[in-house]
Structure 1
């Protein structure tokens, strides 16, 4: 059994999601419940619709579901697929694998382009596959939080612009921390969740729907669907309602989160995420934990660091939690033991990054890892920040 964490330090949630909820948002979720179909809720939903579209980079409707990110991934497929149709899945990490698994569960015939984990798919390879087969959908992960790699959606969208194939994208860990230009890039459906860069508790899923996708969704020959039926959601979105009972308290939180994001300004939010992730990555490298994967496509919302033998990621995660009450992530896939992952999304600060690196250095030292110079991780981060 895992030992209890030290009570000498406050609990610090530093995962790549769920993340720590800012106090303004936490207070918003504690507001008194209102009629989920009353005028107060319609105002909230209208403003959420107005403020969330720029995060997707779209003028298309953004649908709201009481769901995790995986739920809206399933919704994106269930609403465009007929059983037996073909899907092309781009897999370069755990969540690409999940998207492919969902497609298979819905009865699709799935072809996979698997890239080395940590590296994103080559558009030329995708183009060759598209030339040989007719696919109803291509599924991709925008920000693969298991590896820290960001997919070039513009390049993939360009391949599909003149094809019937729809581009479905999981940006659960990207939206709000990385720029998205859905309309410009030719993405048909983007799905995300509330618990990552949107800074809210888990439980809300969002899906934006292009006109190209909508024409397919409205067909009656798609997969069986009821609660996740986007036709129902599309029928009421312009009335500022949801098809079924919405998670009122969570939507209060999202409304506050979007207020905070737009107060800061989207360009400033994106720049802050990059600045802090760069500093965290520099600190990890200085401590002797090389950045994992292709750094040309490195995420701004999660830092993935390689763990040199004989250390294991699990040992570092355990020590950080038990000694410093700080929850970071390892891996539960083919990278188990080989990496650690630290979230750099949401309303984190320079102090959070420096504290992470200080605790990380002490944990590495306690586990027998020879740090090049005492304080080198924090120093590298400070240099990056300045």
Structure 2
């Protein structure tokens, strides 16, 4: 065994991080995170926070203040609940994949009363079923994952927002794997709380999360003083962001990185960023289909930031994942849930290009051929190239 084969080794040259998060960090962002650490209450950090907040608002589609936290996405999912769900309140969680189920687990750990609307994984959310539950009972919030990276399905936030627009019920959305690669129009769609994190389409290292809260949700937060919350207190965070600060020690390096990644996105143009994600994820799907890999989502609003393929009969997902890494240092994901062994997942988010997708397909064709799948040589590259030409 060589040094590069040991778990603790630095990845060899050619390492390709193609997970649905964390994603490859562009060199500009890496350099920004390497800047000298400054006083987290000083003018340099205040400037970074203020500029970052200003640039993230158009990505969210909001005029809300945006609050930053030192945490993973799961932390800010918990924050979204603890700030609005008090004793005696009940929520309705839409489960259409692993991370919807995670929201249910978080709520149950907090002793929140939870009802669920379960959708078959890989199918579109049944908005009519959600509406029927709202007619039966009053809920403090509907909770949903915007982009379900375990399945590759996107929630129709506009339709869900329309359900609660004239109700006291709030709409909470986790867009950890969507924001920056899939359209988010928080204000227009009536999404009351959006939470996200740095390590996916926002092209940064993990460890920075954010929350955007609507006036409707702020009224709920300000009316109820009975909730037990300290670190995640949105009221405390709002007072801090009004001073261009965070309530506690800011992740200074990550804020510098996010400011740089947002600068890159604005330079490209936000419509162009979203169009690139849609075009390139479509190219990967087309190439995968030509190699015999069916999309896990047969129909419905598919993700532009993750592509989930069904594993052909006779193969096992983990085997494909391991061979891609062993033979090509290409790192993709399988599944750590009920789909284990049945799917493989590619991230199509952040700093990636047509060359990235074509390399994915080249490596995938090689591995599938070695594993005995009858694959027409060059079919994946041809299909992807044709898709790119059609959608240019």
User: Could you tell me the TM-score, scaled by structure 2's length?
Assistant: 0.96
How many Å separate the matches in 2 of 1:28 and 1:167? 35
How many Å separate the matches in 2 of 1:164 and 1:222? 19
Return the match for 1:10 from 8, 14, 22. 14
> What pairs up with 1:345-356 in 2 under 5 angstroms?
345-356=349-360
Return the match for 1:73 from 69, 77, 87. 77
How many Å separate the matches in 2 of 1:351 and 1:295? 27
Check conservation: 1:331, 1:337, Cα contact below 8 A.
yes
**What is residue 378 of structure 2 aligned with on the other side?**
375
Return the match for 1:232 from 229, 233, 236. 236
CA-to-aligned-CA distance 1:267-296 (integer Å, 9 cap, x gap): 000000001000001011110000111433
Check conservation: 2:68, 2:210, Cα contact below 8 A.
yes
CA distance change for structure 1 residues 43 and 70 in 2, over 3 Å: closer, same or farther?
Answer: same
Check conservation: 2:71, 2:209, Cα contact below 8 A.
yes
Return the match for 1:182 from 186, 211, 218. 186
- Please state how far the C-alpha of 1:222 moved relative to its aligned partner: 4.2
Structure 1 segments, 4+ long, off by >4 Å, are 5-9
Check conservation: 2:69, 2:209, Cα contact below 8 A.
yes
> What pairs up with 1:1-386 in 2 under 5 angstroms?
4=5, 10-371=14-375, 373-386=376-389
- Please state how far the C-alpha of 1:144 moved relative to its aligned partner: 0.2
CA distance change for structure 1 residues 264 and 128 in 2, over 3 Å: closer, same or farther?
Answer: same
How many Å separate the matches in 2 of 1:166 and 1:233? 20
- Please state how far the C-alpha of 1:219 moved relative to its aligned partner: 3.4
Check conservation: 1:9, 1:324, Cα contact below 8 A.
no
User: Could you tell me the TM-score, scaled by structure 1's length?
Assistant: 0.97
Structure 1: 5+ residue stretches without partners: none
CA-to-aligned-CA distance 1:347-377 (integer Å, 9 cap, x gap): 1011110011000011011111111x11101
Structure 2: 5+ residue stretches without partners: none
Check conservation: 1:80, 1:222, Cα contact below 8 A.
no
Check conservation: 2:204, 2:257, Cα contact below 8 A.
yes
- Please state how far the C-alpha of 1:235 moved relative to its aligned partner: 1.2
Number of residue pairs matched by the alignment: 385
- Please state how far the C-alpha of 1:103 moved relative to its aligned partner: 1.1
Check conservation: 1:79, 1:222, Cα contact below 8 A.
no
Check conservation: 2:193, 2:214, Cα contact below 8 A.
yes
Secondary structure of the 1:254 match is helix
Check conservation: 1:81, 1:222, Cα contact below 8 A.
no
How many Å separate the matches in 1 of 2:74 and 2:197? 9
How many Å separate the matches in 2 of 1:101 and 1:27? 37
How many Å separate the matches in 2 of 1:33 and 1:8? 29
RMSD, aligned α-carbons: 1.6
- Please state how far the C-alpha of 1:14 moved relative to its aligned partner: 0.3
Check conservation: 1:84, 1:107, Cα contact below 8 A.
no
CA distance change for structure 1 residues 347 and 219 in 2, over 3 Å: closer, same or farther?
Answer: same
How many Å separate the matches in 1 of 2:324 and 2:88? 47
How many Å separate the matches in 1 of 2:227 and 2:321? 41
Check conservation: 2:123, 2:300, Cα contact below 8 A.
no
- Please state how far the C-alpha of 1:223 moved relative to its aligned partner: 3.0
Secondary structure of the 2:209 match is strand
Range moving further from structure 2, 99-108 or 134-143: 99-108
